[in-house]
Amino acid sequence: MNKILRKRNFSDRVVQMEIEAPLIARARKPGNFVIVRVGEKGERIPLTISAADPQKGTITLVVQKMGFSSTKIAHLEEGESLTDLVGPLGKPTHISKVGTVLACGGGVGVAPLLPIIRGFKEAGNRVVSIIAARTEELVILEEEVRKHSDEMLVMTDDGSYGRKGLVTEGMEEIIKREKIDLAVTLGPAVMMKFCALLTKKHNIPTIASLNSIMVDGTGMCGACRVTVGGKTRFTCVDGPEFDAHQVDFDELISRLGAYRKEEIEKLNR
Amino acid sequence: MEISDRNAGWRKELREAVKGKERTDIPRVKMPERHPADRVKSQRLEVNTGLTAGMAQQEARRCMDCIQPTCMEGCPVSIDIPGFIKNIERGAFPEAAAVLKRTSALPAVCGRVCPQEKQCEARCFYTEKLKKEPVAIGYLERFAADYERESGQAYIPETAPSNGIRIAVVGSGPSGLSFAGDMVKKGYRVTVFEALHEIGGVLKYGIPEFRLPNRIVDFEIENLRRMGVTFVSNFIVGMTQTIDGLKAEGFKGFYVASGAGLPRFMGIPGENANGVLSSNEYLTRVNLMGADMPEADTPVFRGKQVVVVGGGNTAMDSVRTAKRLGAERAVIVYRRSEAEMPARIEEVKHAKEEGCEFLPLTNPVEYIMNEQGRVKQVKVQQMGLGEPDASGRRSPVPLAGSEYLIEADVVVVAVGVSPNPIIPDSVAGLDVSKWGTIVVNDETMESNLSGLFAGGDIVRGGATVILAMGDGRRAAAHMDRLFHTQERP
């Protein structure tokens, strides 16, 4: 059973959970995700791994209450167990020494960005991180990101914490200041879209980690298909990371809202 | 063996008791089924309700107990067909089930989903020589298996004393289950690893309950468990742990039956519109995740006008599921003619009875979406039939200027699957074809890596339950031989 050993509330809507999962803790690499299910009638939803401790045999997930099933998971308490947990899934991040990496995380996307930041740092890169959120209470993992980055910038849309402005404003400033060899963007699809537009303008290779809808997570259902460079790819087995300049983000945004009507009906039932 | 020996006293008497003419005069039994208006109300009511004992014995009487039963040549696993049917005729139903279980790990499943009209029943004496309707071998197989299960006295096949050799099976679909059953009988310690949270593979996520109830699959799995097979769900071999990792834990032999992982799409404009989905996704949401039930968390699109692309069993399962989810119009769009449809005849018949429409010789060329990105129409074109293609069927040829629009709020694409890439990608040095299937020796099912065998859709790229099971049996026989050779000093 995958017991929740520790739970920390980042805010009313965002929680961090350390979960017993010895095999996944050993096998996972930065960029991998898991599928989680809660309850016998529960839905399978993908969540990216934020950290793992192979010695303790645990993985850490950060969950934001977005819809019905993420709320159900976030409401689990310490000592309770997930009904099902499977992984690690997806292709891990391709980490190498490239020079300077600009890592941009938005909202809860900062959690899965953290192991990628650590990976690039450990591979000998200079890592500049920007973490962005709508407002102060949604800024997460600031200390951890700071610890593993050479420099870190916090941005909030409303200016309630750190610098006021969108993530792209911070990016622009850093791109002007120094040569960036690779950008990584992880967060809401619309944020990744604008990050990609900006880095494309500056010819900076960029990877985006996509958060498509999935059922099985192993390539079987095709719910997670996305157009990359004009070709249909499956986020679960071909991704979740792709060349951000090739991703059709408008299609991704539309597909993420596919079940909005059904989701609202379920929340009201 | 007494129960299946053609020369056993009881069997001779049975043959002599009824004249041939009397046997051939009996009309083929009709499978009792639920009324279409009732059955479309639920995804989980089985359509065929099964033969009564009387009906089964009467049908069994039609079988001529041929000296050279050609029906057996039509069966991919060579079931002793007259052997089990004659046991039904004499009323020895548990014995009939025992004969079936000697060669098939899942008779209740095969009796329901095998394409008998292309296999055993196509080779029946009635079909070949009398030009009459064949003996209903599939119905009888189902009857014997169901009788045994419902009697509560299931016969658990004997297992050899444990030899302690640990075997890992990748995937719990029909191929993996059939392999596991044979190996546990031979005394191996078998563990089956399944990626999903339920055991059964395509029998659970793919085939709907109106055709194959889950409790029947669960019963067969429970029997394997009682024989000593260990099942591990939520475990993806190649990701959760690699084959090398499992070797280090003491597993000596591997059977990869990971199935056909990737749904195929056609690559036409608008295919990624919301509301266009693979049959795998559509059926998994309903069959595995229970989206037809109000208490399930998983949503599914309940379309009013559903178009299903394809002519196989999966397409029939999808179009009939659409009806059950409340579609006013559920339409099959298929590029060849109805005669070329690969689906079982019974599934086509059932779909039509349930009010599904068929548009053969029609092919989608584009999906048109509304401002919200949701599909609203399918542009199709009409097809003609040209020269036979590689499959031996006449190839569909587009007719110029024949395009028109069909209204649709859900489209299910059921045009086949490609092999799951996880194992081929995770095992260094494994011989894989350009289609992504694992290359094996046709006879032994062993890959180029010693001790690693494979079968089912990961080898065939898309086949039937019974062929997948046949692969499992062959792989078990040859893996057993491999270990015996290795043990010899």
Instruction: Give the pair of three-digit tokens for residue B385.
Output: 């039939």
Mean pLDDT computed over B271-284: 96
- Report the chain A residue with the minimal C-alpha distance to residue B276: A223
Cis peptide before A240 (omega within 30 of 0): yes
Instruction: Give the pair of three-digit tokens for residue B421.
Output: 């890439």
pLDDT of residue B158: 85
ipTM confidence score: 0.94
B101 pLDDT above the threshold of 50: yes
Residues 6+ apart with CB under 8 A from A268: none
pLDDT tens digit sequence for B65-91: 999 999 999 998 889 999 999 999 999
Q: Evaluate whether A223 touches A211 at the Cβ level (below 8 Å).
A: no
B452 pLDDT above the threshold of 90: yes
Q: Is B295 on the interface with A (CB under 8 A)?
A: yes
pLDDT of residue A208: 97
Q: What is the DSSP letter of B438?
A: B
pLDDT tens digit sequence for B421-446: 888 888 989 999 998 999 999 999 99
The length of chain B is 489
- The CATH number fitting domain B264-417, selected from 3.90.25.10, 3.50.50.60, 3.40.1000.10, 1.10.1660.10: 3.50.50.60
> Position of tokens 């099912």?
B445
Looking at the complex, report in whole angstroms how far the Cα of residue B236 sits from the nearest Cα belonging to chain A: 7
pLDDT tens digit sequence for A134-163: 999 999 999 999 999 999 999 999 999 999
Put simply, whether the predicted model's pTM sits higher than 0.90 gets the answer: yes
pLDDT of residue B192: 98
User: How many Å apart are CA A93 and CA A185, to the nearest integer?
Assistant: 12
B364 pLDDT above the threshold of 80: yes
Q: Where are chain A's structural domains?
A: 2-89, 100-256
Query: Which residues of chain A neighbour B235 with C-beta distances below 8 Å?
Result: 23, 86
pLDDT tens digit sequence for B201-248: 999 999 999 999 999 999 999 989 999 999 999 999 999 999 999 999
CATH 2.40.50.320 describes domain A2-89:
no
Looking at the complex, report in whole angstroms how far the Cα of residue A198 sits from the nearest Cα belonging to chain B: 26
Residue B63: CB atoms within 10 Å: 25
Q: What is the DSSP letter of B335?
A: S
User: How many Å apart are CA B444 and CA B458, to the nearest integer?
Assistant: 15
Say which of B197, B239, B261 has its CB closest to residue A88: B239
CB contact under 8 A, A255 and B274: yes
B392 pLDDT above the threshold of 90: no
Could you say which architecture CATH assigns to the domain B166-261+419-487?
Answer: 3-Layer(bba) Sandwich (3.50)
- Report the chain B residue with the minimal C-alpha distance to residue A38: B297
The strand order across the sheet containing A58-64 reads: A81-82, A2-9, A14-20, A58-64, A45-53, A33-37, A84-89
Best residue of A24, A221, A263, A264 to probe chain B, by most B CBs closer than 10 Å:
A221
Radius of gyration (C-alpha) of chain A in whole angstroms: 18
User: How many Å apart are CA B255 and CA B234, to the nearest integer?
Assistant: 18
CB contact under 8 A, B262 and A222: yes
- The CATH number fitting domain A100-256, selected from 3.40.50.80, 3.40.50.360, 2.130.10.30, 3.20.10.10: 3.40.50.80
User: How many Å apart are CA B100 and CA B81, to the nearest integer?
Assistant: 8
pLDDT category, B487, cuts 50, 70, 90? low
**Alpha helix ranges (H) inside B152-249:** 174-185, 202-205, 214-227, 243-248
pLDDT of residue B1: 62
Query: Which fold, B9-151?
Result: Fumarate Reductase Iron-sulfur Protein; Chain B, domain 2 (1.10.1060)
B11 pLDDT above the threshold of 90: yes
- Cα–Cα distances (Å) from B84 to B21, B118, B155, B239, B355, in that order, read 22, 20, 15, 43, 36
Query: Which residues of chain B neighbour A258 with C-beta distances below 8 Å?
Result: 274-275, 374
User: Do B166-261+419-487 and B264-417 agree at the fold level?
Assistant: yes
Mean pLDDT computed over B367-384: 96
CB contact under 8 A, B236 and A24: no
Query: Which residues of chain A neighbour B420 with C-beta distances below 8 Å?
Result: 218-220
Q: Is A225 on the interface with B (CB under 8 A)?
A: yes
Which regions in chain A score pLDDT beneath 50?
Answer: none
pLDDT of residue A177: 94
Q: Evaluate whether B393 touches B336 at the Cβ level (below 8 Å).
A: yes
pLDDT tens digit sequence for B27-68: 999 999 999 999 999 999 999 999 999 999 999 999 999 999
Instruction: Give the pair of three-digit tokens for residue B145.
Output: 């298996």
CB contact under 8 A, B278 and A41: no
Residue A227: strand pairing partners: A232
Average per-residue pLDDT in chain B?
A: 93
pLDDT of residue B489: 43
User: How many Å apart are CA A171 and CA B190, to the nearest integer?
Assistant: 55
Mean pLDDT computed over B248-276: 94
Instruction: Give the pair of three-digit tokens for residue A168.
Output: 């792209």
Mean pLDDT computed over B377-398: 90
Q: Is A86 on the interface with B (CB under 8 A)?
A: yes
Say which of B197, B272, B422 has its CB closest to residue A84: B197
- Report the chain B residue with the minimal C-alpha distance to residue A71: B297
The length of chain A is 269
Q: Where are chain B's structural domains?
A: 9-151, 166-261+419-487, 264-417
